[in-house]
C-alpha cells in the first residue's frame, strides 16, 4: 500500500519570505499523480498544485511550485512571497495512475505566517 509522509507537523514563515513544506511517499508504481491541498480554518479543501509522475518538469502555479524528485520519492511544496492568507494546513496526497483509486493523504503540515 502507498503511504505519504509529511515530517513537519508545523512550520512558520515571515510574510513575504519563502517556505518549503516536505513530503515523501512510498510506492512501487511508476504511474501516479501527486497533489498538494490547502485547508484554511474555514475547513475547505482547496487544490493548490498537482504533478504527473511521468513529467520531469516541476509544476508551478503562481507563487506555488513543487520540487519533484521521483527517484527520491520526494514532492516538496515551495511557497514564495508568503502572504497572511497562506496560513493553513497543507496536505500532500498520492493517487495511483492505475484504475480509479482514491487519494492517499499525509497527516498534514500546519503553516503559520508571521506579519
The residues of the shown chain that bind other proteins, judged by CB under 8 A, are: 9, 32-33, 35, 42-45, 47, 50, 52, 91, 95-108
Considering the complex, state which of residue 85 and residue 99 has its C-beta at the smaller distance from other proteins: 99
| Region of residue 49 (left: phi > 0; alpha: psi -120 to 50; beta: else) | beta
Residue 106 beta carbon to other proteins: minimum distance, rounded to whole angstroms: 6
Dihedral, CA of residue 9, residue 67, residue 4 and residue 90, to nearest 10 = 40
Q: Which is it for strands 60-61 and 46-52: parallel, antiparallel or unpaired? A: unpaired
Residue 14 beta carbon to other proteins: minimum distance, rounded to whole angstroms: 26
Considering the complex, state which of residue 16 and residue 47 has its C-beta at the smaller distance from other proteins: 47
Please compute, for residue 49, the number of CA atoms within 13 A of its CA located in the half-sphere on the CB side: 19
Considering the complex, state which of residue 44 and residue 83 has its C-beta at the smaller distance from other proteins: 44
Residue 29 beta carbon to other proteins: minimum distance, rounded to whole angstroms: 11
Amino acid at each position: 500500500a502507498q503511504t505519504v509522509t509529511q515530517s513537519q507537523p508545523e512550520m512558520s514563515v515571515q510574510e513575504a519570505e519563502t517556505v518549503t513544506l516536505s513530503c515523501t511517499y512510498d510506492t512501487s508504481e511508476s504511474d501516479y499523480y501527486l497533489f498538494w491541498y490547502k485547508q484554511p480554518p474555514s475547513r475547505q479543501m482547496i487544490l493548490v498544485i498537482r504533478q504527473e509522475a511521468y513529467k520531469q518538469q516541476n509544476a508551478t502555479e503562481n507563487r506555488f511550485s513543487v520540487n519533484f524528485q521521483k527517484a527520491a520519492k520526494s514532492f516538496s511544496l515551495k511557497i514564495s512571497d508568503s502572504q497572511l492568507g497562506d496560513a493553513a494546513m497543507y496536505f500532500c496526497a498520492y493517487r495511483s495512475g492505475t484504475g480509479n483509486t482514491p487519494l492517499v493523504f499525509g497527516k498534514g503540515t500546519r503553516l503559520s505566517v508571521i506579519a
